[in-house]
Amino acid sequence: MANTNLPRRIIKETQRLLSDPAPGISASPSEDNMRYFNVMILGPTQSPYEGGVFKLELFLPEEYPMAAPKVRFLTKIYHPNIDKLGRICLDILKDKWSPALQIRTVLLSIQALLSAPNPDDPLSDNIAKHWKANEAEAVETAKEWTRLYASGT
Amino acid sequence: MDSEDDMHDANDVESLDDFYSGETALASDEDDGDYEFIDNDSDDSEDRTSHRQQQNYIILSEEDICVRQEEDITGISTVLFISRVAASILLRHYNWDVSKVHDAWFVDEEGVRKTVGLLEKPVVEFNLSPKEPTCGICFETYPCERMNAAACGHHFCCACWTGYISTSINDGPGCLMLRCPDPSCGAAVGQDMINMLASEDDRDKYSRYLLRSYVEDNKKTKWCPAPGCEYAVDFVVGSASYDVSCNCSYNFCWNCTEEAHRPVDCETVAKWILKNSAESENMNWILANSKPCPKCKRPIEKNQGCMHITCTPPCKFEFCWLCLGSWSDHGERTGGFYACNRYETAKQEGVYDETEKRREMAKNSLERYTHYYERWATNQSSRAKALSDLQQMQAVQLEKLSDKQCQPGSQLKFITEAWLQIVECRRVLKWTYAYGYYLPEQEHAKRQFFEYLQGEAESGLERLHQCAEKELHVYLEAVGPSKDFNEFRTKLAGLTSVTRNYFENLVRALENGLSDVDTHGACSRTSSSKNLGGGGGSKSRGGRGKITSQRPFPSQTKGLDDTNHWSCQHCTFANLNSATTCHMCHNRR
Ligand SMILES: [Zn+2]
Ligand SMILES: [Zn+2]
Ligand SMILES: [Zn+2]
Ligand SMILES: [Zn+2]
Ligand SMILES: [Zn+2]
Ligand SMILES: [Zn+2]
Ligand SMILES: [Zn+2]
């Protein structure tokens, strides 16, 4: 019923996400709310998150696509641009959002962020400091967290 | 009195007179009755012209702003051979600095076009082969005529454009830098597209932002900070004075946009305001408008602008609001020296409740700050009171006075001028307390000179304020025309003029960092001034330096011999015996 007036764009995006998923990413709408997506991103190879399966939630607000989707990590992750609550610091989710971007592009950008953490634009100060002071050690912690919190099932 | 003494006194008076009158030639004592003429048109128009010559800013109404903006856009558009919309985008990008646009454009047109998003030709060919192209935002198909694109050629449907533009406009002034929705494209979206695709409401908002940007992003212009005022100020950068007087009558500093604060610099003002907010809790009690009468202890409210308070009957004790000392210790009995501006004095008089409270309250530094803050704040509220009195005067009282005293309105201008002067002087005086607070403790000669000048300013202004407030009252309440109204006019106009000169010189002296003291004051004579309080002999008095930097200071004035002074009949100013005319009102002895 909440989905009766679902814009054509959302329906099309959803169809394509299901029929032609991006590698390492799955997104499926919740059954009772077609604007709410359960997302899984596989940790990219050669990143500290390799081997991890990360759960996220994605919500398309009423103004979508004029406003950006709301995305959040549900799985605990040690990353300088992601905070304790799983919120993500990514420009296209804020001022760089454009209605010509899509759910797919957003999720691909998040995946790329896992491969290339950017401690100069941090969301989590402590982790960013750790990353800058001793990257090797920070990467170890990220690997440890991936093993502890993101190892499937 | 020996002749040497007289000679030095004469010097004193002369140099003090310099300070009072400055470059402006004052009516001399020969033409006592001439104020009537002086306060009329001649004096006034001269003032206005000189003001106009110095003026280094222009007040702009909304219309003026529009006109200027249009002119700049037209100028750029003509010189660079680009559309007006493109010129507007370009100017906005360079903060409306015409010469910066020129420079950048002629150095690297291609580079500028790229950063600003002004494309010469589309980056994509709009493919007309599918009859019904798909919009990249809503994924719907539309006939070509319902699609639109910026210069880049990225087409989206009109409905999506409208939504895109509306979202951006409602996000704030960033909409002035709007780009094509395609994430890989930086093509600018200008006002032509806005006007074509946005709702009427959004179009209005957009042009408001554009107008505001012309003021807010332009280095040479600012809005008047007065609440509700819609004028902007165009300022000639590099001018000597930052003071701006807006058409709404608000005076402010262009540099820091605080209320006008000459003679204090912006940095000191910022420090002082910060200090005040840090101490605001401690200071709340000071702003209370009531204090116990020093004699009968009943709470007395200050409802007048001047500091001379009279307790209600039967007590009727006259005291000074600032130091709670008896008023008879101020003014003529003390030889015109006004003591309550000095920090030390307040401490010595510690017999009153308020002073005791102050003691308990904190250690020295807070006490010192309290002293200056109270005087700063009191002058501020006095100024506010004077401003509302002035308005009341202009709205009601002057007409009443004109009726009662059978005077045409043009003959009553001296009253408005007096009140305007009071408002301005209260403002200056207020800031001298911030000046005093930050004047280094170890600069004794400067401090002494400063406190003397400030004390004279307080007492001179007090005299003017009382005259305009209390003495005027008599004429307002009179049954019929008063015989001595012309005398009153002479006195008030004289006090106004004298006070104006004094304050102008005071401002200049403080802005120069009291440099007179460096050259004249800090010499060996200073030490001899220590003897002044007790001795008072010709030798030590003769030791006074230039102007009055070594005069006996207020705390010692009680020991000053009253026979050295005569009290002016007209304004009660205590003049030195050697003076033949009063240096407050210039009437003969
Ligand atoms: Zn484009
Ligand atoms: Zn569309
Ligand atoms: Zn104004
Ligand atoms: Zn300033
Ligand atoms: Zn009393
Ligand atoms: Zn006093
Ligand atoms: Zn006089």
**B229: annotated active-site residue:** no
Q: Are residues B95 and B197 in the same domain?
A: yes
Q: Are residues B152 and B217 in the same domain?
A: yes
pLDDT of residue B197: 95
pLDDT of residue B470: 87
User: Would B171 be classed as within a structural domain?
Assistant: yes
- Domain harbouring A130, CATH code: 3.10.110.10
User: Would A126 be classed as within a structural domain?
Assistant: yes
Residues of chain B in contact with residue A98, where contact means CB-CB under 8 angstroms, are 181-183
Three-state SS at B369: helix
Top pLDDT among B575 and A26 is at A26
Can you tell me the distance from the alpha carbon of B439 to that of B449, in angstroms, rounded to the nearest whole number?
Answer: 11
Residue A24 in tokens: 């390492």
**B182 reaches A (C-beta below 8 A):** yes
How many CB atoms sit inside 10 A of residue B588's CB? 12
Query: Which residue's structure tokens are 């001399």?
Result: B28
Pick from B514, B547, B579: which residue ends a domain?
B514
User: Would A2 be classed as within a structural domain?
Assistant: no
Can you tell me the distance from the alpha carbon of B127 to that of B176, in angstroms, rounded to the nearest whole number?
Answer: 29
pLDDT of residue B26: 39
User: Would A3 be classed as within a structural domain?
Assistant: no
Can you tell me the distance from the alpha carbon of B475 to that of B470, in angstroms, rounded to the nearest whole number?
Answer: 10
User: Would A1 be classed as within a structural domain?
Assistant: no
Q: From the list B138, B156, B181, which residue is nearest A8 (CB)?
A: B138
Q: Are residues B490 and B360 in the same domain?
A: yes
User: Would A49 be classed as within a structural domain?
Assistant: yes
| Nearest ligand for residue B181 CA | 1
Can you tell me the distance from the alpha carbon of A88 to that of B470, in angstroms, rounded to the nearest whole number?
Answer: 69
Q: Are residues B330 and B407 in the same domain?
A: no
Which domain range does residue B123 map to?
60-221
pLDDT of residue B518: 56
User: Would B396 be classed as within a structural domain?
Assistant: yes
Can you tell me the distance from the alpha carbon of B512 to that of A4, in angstroms, rounded to the nearest whole number?
Answer: 76
- Angle of helix B266-278 versus helix B413-438 axis, rounded to 10: 80
Q: Which segments within B113-182 are labelled E, that is strand?
A: 147-148, 156-157
pLDDT of residue B9: 43
Per-residue pLDDT of chain B (589 residues; tens, 9 = 90+): 444 444 444 444 444 444 544 444 433 444 443 433 333 344 444 444 344 446 789 999 999 999 999 999 999 999 999 999 999 999 999 999 999 999 999 999 999 999 999 998 888 776 555 667 889 999 998 888 889 999 999 999 999 999 999 999 998 999 999 999 999 899 999 999 999 999 999 999 999 999 999 999 999 999 999 999 999 999 987 777 888 999 998 899 999 999 999 999 999 999 999 888 877 766 666 556 667 788 877 777 776 667 778 887 778 888 887 777 787 777 654 444 556 676 654 444 445 556 555 555 445 667 788 889 989 999 999 999 999 999 998 888 898 888 888 888 888 999 999 999 999 999 999 999 999 999 988 888 888 889 889 999 998 999 999 999 888 888 888 888 888 888 999 999 999 999 999 999 999 999 988 887 654 443 333 333 333 333 333 333 333 333 333 332 233 333 334 456 677 666 556 677 777 877 666 777 7
pLDDT of residue B379: 92
Please tell me which residue of chain A has the smallest CA distance to B154: A100
Top pLDDT among B540 and A132 is at A132
Q: Do A100 and B156 touch (CB under 8 A)?
A: yes
Q: How many CB pairs under 8 A join A and B?
A: 37
The number of distinct structural domains making up chain B is: 3
CA–centroid distance, B483 to ligand 7, in Å, is: 20
Q: Are residues B345 and B476 in the same domain?
A: no
Residues of chain A in contact with residue B163, where contact means CB-CB under 8 angstroms, are 66, 99
Please return the burial class of B563, using the count of CB atoms within 10 Å of its CB with bins 0-12, 13-18 and 19+: exposed
Pick from B459, B485, B514: which residue ends a domain?
B514
Cβ atoms B160, A99 nearer than 8 A:
yes
Q: Are residues B300 and B400 in the same domain?
A: no
Question: What's the mean pLDDT when you consider all of chain A?
Answer: 91
How many CB atoms sit inside 10 A of residue A116's CB? 9
Q: Are residues B335 and B433 in the same domain?
A: no
Which domain range does residue A145 map to?
8-150
Pick from B221, B242, B266: which residue ends a domain?
B221
pLDDT of residue B40: 39
Mutate to test the interface with A, among B124, B135, B137 (most CBs of A within 10 A): B137
Top pLDDT among A16 and B17 is at A16
Q: Do A63 and B182 touch (CB under 8 A)?
A: no
The number of distinct structural domains making up chain A is: 1
User: Would B41 be classed as within a structural domain?
Assistant: no
Can you tell me the distance from the alpha carbon of B348 to that of B338, in angstroms, rounded to the nearest whole number?
Answer: 15
Q: Are residues B77 and B199 in the same domain?
A: yes
- pLDDT higher than threshold 70 for residue A153: no
Cβ atoms A101, A148 nearer than 8 A:
no
User: Would B577 be classed as within a structural domain?
Assistant: no
Q: What is the pLDDT of residues A32-85, one digit of tens each?
A: 899 999 999 999 999 999 999 999 999 999 999 999 999 999 999 999 999 889
User: Would A46 be classed as within a structural domain?
Assistant: yes
Q: What are phi and psi of B301, to 5 degrees?
A: -95, 140
- Domain harbouring B150, CATH code: 3.30.40.10
Q: Are residues B454 and B330 in the same domain?
A: no
CA–centroid distance, B295 to ligand 6, in Å, is: 15
Q: Are residues B344 and B428 in the same domain?
A: no
- Angle of helix A103-115 versus helix A8-19 axis, rounded to 10: 50
Report which DSSP code applies to B27. P
Q: Do B156 and A101 touch (CB under 8 A)?
A: no
Q: Are residues B308 and B441 in the same domain?
A: no
Cβ atoms B589, B565 nearer than 8 A:
no
**B137 reaches A (C-beta below 8 A):** yes
User: Would B438 be classed as within a structural domain?
Assistant: yes
Cβ atoms B502, B456 nearer than 8 A:
yes
Instruction: Say whether the peptide bond before residue B173 is cis (omega within 30 degrees of 0).
Output: no
User: Would B157 be classed as within a structural domain?
Assistant: yes
- Domain harbouring B405, CATH code: 1.20.120.1750
User: Would B565 be classed as within a structural domain?
Assistant: no
Q: Are residues B212 and B312 in the same domain?
A: no
Three-state SS at B347: helix
pLDDT of residue B25: 40
